[in-house]
Amino acid sequence: MNANWKDWSRKLDDAPWAYRTTYKTPIGMYPYLLVFGKVCHIPVELEYKSMWALKKLNLEWDVAANLRVTHLNELNEFWYHAYTSSSLYKEKIKYLNDKYIHNKDFKEGDLVPFFNSRI
């Protein structure tokens, strides 16, 4: 479908949503966030339009839903892998930093620095 000046009526429904969810620099936030106090992720109309598009393309809703769940599970596995690898990295860095820390034995009467005292 070619876009031309006669297609403005088809894009009219999407224009307010695009305006509400676009970050505005002068106010420093999204207009939707300013009005409702939370960020708008996916409006209900968009979900209905996706179902309408599936019906128009003769796709099965169950197959698309199962595919979406599969993709979400893969994403959760990816997040878990990233979390575990970052925790392993943090443990490794902690070990490398801790080996440079030396225990100091203080005896009674030694002069030691004393910071942030409220005594």
Residues of the chain under the 50 pLDDT cut? none
- Please state the domain extents for the chain: 59-100
pLDDT of residue 111: 87
Q: Helix 44-56 crosses helix 61-98 at what angle (to 10 degrees)?
A: 130
pLDDT of residue 72: 87
Percent of the chain with pLDDT over 90: 8
The conformation of residue 90, written as its DSSP 8-state character, comes to H
